[in-house]
Amino acid sequence: MFVEDKLRSEIAGEITLSPTPGSTMKKWREIFAITQADLAAHLKIAASTISDYEGNRRMSPGSAVIKRFVTALFDIDNERGSPILSKLAQGVEHTAQFFDLHEFAASITAVDFQKMIGGTVVANEDLMQSKKLYGYTLMDSLKVILEMPFNQFPKLYGSMSERAFIFTQVSTGRSPMVVIRVTPMKPSVVVLHGISDVDPLALKISEKEQIPVITTRMDIGKIKDTLNKI
C-alpha cells in the first residue's frame, strides 16, 4: 500500500506541476494502456470530456479531478491484474533508497513546522510566517547528489513544490544548496539535519533564492513520527 500511495502522489504531482496538465494526463492514460472510452466509462463521464482535458481545451483540472483520474487508472489496472502498476512499483522501490515523501493532510506554516522539528532558523527568518508547507521530502544528501539519476529529481517534489526538503548526512550544507540553486523548481524551506554551523556560500544561495534554512539535531525517527501525524 505504501508503494501504491507513493505512485499516486508522484503521478498527481506531475500532472499538477505540468505546464500542460492535459497532455500529462494523456501520457499517463497511454502508459496504463487505457482508451479514452474505457476511462470515460469508468468515470461515468463523456469520452469527449477526456478528449477536451487531454487536448488542453478545458481549464486546468483541479485537485478533485486529478484524484479521480489517478484513482481510475489504478482501479482499471488492478482489474486487469496490475500489469502496469507492478512495473511502476519497481521504480518507486528504487527511489526509496534515496528519499522519502510525505504529503500533509492540511497545510502548515513554516513557523509551526520549525517548532515541530525543534529547529533553528539560520537564514531568511523574515520569510517564515509567509511560507506554507504541504509536505516534506526526507533525503540522504550524499546519495541524492552522488548516486540518484538526474531524471529522478522532479520526483523529490511529490504533488506540491511548497514543501520542506530535509537533508541528512550533511557536513556544511553547501552541496544541497548548490543543487537547489541549479534546479528549476525550489522547495519552500530547507532543513539541514545534524549541523549547527552552515557554510557561508549555502547561506548566500538561500538568500538569493529566498528560501528559509533551518538546522535541527532532533532524531530523524522522531521528526518523521511528528510530521507524519499532520
pLDDT by 10s per residue, the chain, length 230 = 567 887 888 889 888 888 889 999 999 999 999 999 999 999 999 999 999 999 989 988 988 999 999 999 999 999 999 999 988 876 555 566 788 888 887 889 999 999 999 999 999 999 999 999 989 999 999 988 888 877 778 888 876 789 999 999 999 999 999 999 988 889 999 999 999 999 999 999 999 999 999 999 999 999 999 998 88
pTM: 0.64
Look up residue 130 and give its amino acid. Answer: S
**Distance in angstroms (rounded) separating the CA atoms of residues 11 and 4:** 11
Nine-digit cell at 41?
466509462
Q: Residue 221: CB partners within 8 Å, gap ≥ 6?
A: none
Domains defined for the chain, CATH in brackets: 2-93 (1.10.260), 97-227 (3.40.1390.20)
